[in-house]
A and B are shown apart, each in its own frame.
Chain A
């Protein structure tokens, strides 16, 4: 374990490399967001500023879907708050990796937190390392790819004309699925995961919109896992 404040340049480089490995899974989503932003009339500068500062694909897509003239300041902000709520427990779960970092390194790294970087960071943490630099590297690598793809989507979106259900867009789900395999720790995960998926499906079936199926499923599964841990120890 690293002792120098838990944030190393080596970690940043390892994170960047890890992000590079799933470029393929990240790129289509950026293209879609760029194309959508172009479609609702945002300029390239506005699109890049939004993507650089917000850096959250699903939230941006939802906000762009309710875009209007003048821009829906409150509705777009609320969409981001609600849809990105799932990132809050992720930051909490990364505490062992972040606890020995402070200041700009800590709060700046958190500014780039995204799902895929979170998955890579948890896998790295479980491999016994506690280097917040890894999280920053992975997240920053994804941010660079994101900006490039959003720009491509905005400039060439009209020419590409990929329909919404095109198999290429399955790549982002596929990337998360593949990362899930890396998060698997053993049989003890099976029941919490089934509960998480089942509750999320049930919540969606009840007509609840994002982020409630995700949050309900995640917390139900995690609570079951914690309860089982406690029973095993007792």
Chain B
């Protein structure tokens, strides 16, 4: 159970930087009331952030991951159970790999 001072300093720097990101966006919004166009953008941001996050990630993992991702979407749309959808995705990817694809 050691805690080195240089490691502690790095951890505190990382924590501060992360907190600035977490609180900063809201803090700025609280001070400056954004124009209607920006407010409309904020309505669209949530979905867009996740699509923009997932598209490169899945593309980088290759087409078996894309197929497994499609399985997740289908199961979630059909059953609406997160646990089931996650299992379906992991299972699909596992089976595809087992079959020697990808």
Using a CB–CB distance below 8 Å, which chain A residues touch chain B?
A: 21-22, 24-25, 42-46, 49-50, 53-56, 59-60, 63, 70-74, 76-81, 84-95, 98-99, 107, 110-113, 115, 118-119, 122, 165, 167-168, 170-171, 173-185, 189, 192-193, 195-201, 203-204, 213-227, 229-230
Contacts and interface: CB of A to CB of B under 8 A. Distances in A.
B28 to A, nearest CB: 7
Contacts of A88: 21-22, 24-25, 28
20 contacts: A53-B11, A72-B10, A89-B42, A90-B46, A91-B26, A95-B29, A167-B90, A167-B94, A173-B61, A173-B69, A173-B89, A181-B85, A183-B46, A196-B51, A200-B55, A200-B56, A218-B48, A221-B44, A222-B44, A226-B38
Contacts of A176: 50, 53-54
Contact of A54 (B18, B24, B65): B18
Nearest to A201: B55
Binding site of A, secondary structure by majority: helix, strand, loop or mixed? helix
B4 A46 contact: yes
Of the four ranges (under 10, 10 to 19, 20 to 34, 35 or more), the interface on chain B belongs to 35 or more
A52 B29 CA distance: 27
Interface in B66-102: 68-69, 72-73, 75-77, 80, 82-83, 85-90, 93-94, 97
A77 B22 contact: no
Interface in B1-36: 1-4, 6-30, 36
